[in-house]
């Protein structure tokens, strides 16, 4: 299905997200620092990056801002992954161009549906790739 990079420094939270997403058929890469996640995202150009806001080196907002500046990441969905208060997280997500916010702890009953919904929304909003013809 989709290639997803999870940037999460909490081992349990990261492993749970990876397990759920892989079980749903996604290809998932787990990174544990902002720098590692940034490097992996830029080289792999995944469909979606799930970004913890409280990383030990670069904070999640910095990672998001740096990813959004890169033309090759224009079609990549970015999701804030956080335990921050809802209002603060929503404001931050809007300010940094996130496609959504998923709150921790993960609700295992709806987590994959949340990710898939954002992927579908992002793919509908993406412009056609070069060489892709429109049916208009």
Distance CA 119, CA 1 (A): 10
| Partners of residue 101 on adjacent β-strands | 80
13-59 tens-digit pLDDT: 999 999 999 999 999 999 999 999 999 999 999 999 999 998 989 99
HSE on the CB side for 15, CA within 13 Å?
3
- Answer whether 53's CB lies under 8 Å from 91's CB: no
How crowded is residue 111: how many other Cβ atoms within 10 Å of its Cβ?
Answer: 19
Q: Is the pLDDT of residue 119 over 50?
A: yes
Domains of the chain: 3-124 (3.40.50.2300)
Please write the tens of the pLDDT for every residue from 81-96. 999 888 988 898 889 8
Is it true that the peptide bond before 105 is cis, omega within 30 degrees of 0?
yes
pLDDT reported for residue 3: 98
Whole-prediction pTM: 0.88
């Amino acid at each position: 299905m989709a290639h997803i990079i999870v940037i999460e420094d909490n081992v349990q939270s990261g492993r749970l997200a990876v397990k759920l997403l892989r079980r749903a058929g996604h290809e998932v890469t787990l990174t544990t620092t902002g720098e590692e996640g940034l490097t992996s995202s830029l080289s792999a150009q995944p469909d979606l990056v799930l970004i913890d806001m409280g990383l030990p080196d670069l904070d999640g907002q910095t990672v998001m801002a740096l990813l959004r500046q890169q033309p090759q990441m224009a079609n990549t969905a970015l999701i804030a992954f956080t335990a921050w208060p809802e209002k603060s997280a929503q404001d931050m997500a809007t300010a940094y161009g996130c496609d959504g916010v998923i709150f921790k702890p993960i609700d295992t009953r709806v987590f994959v549906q949340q990710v898939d919904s954002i992927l579908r929304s992002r793919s509908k909003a993406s412009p056609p790739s070069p060489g892709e013809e429109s049916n208009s």
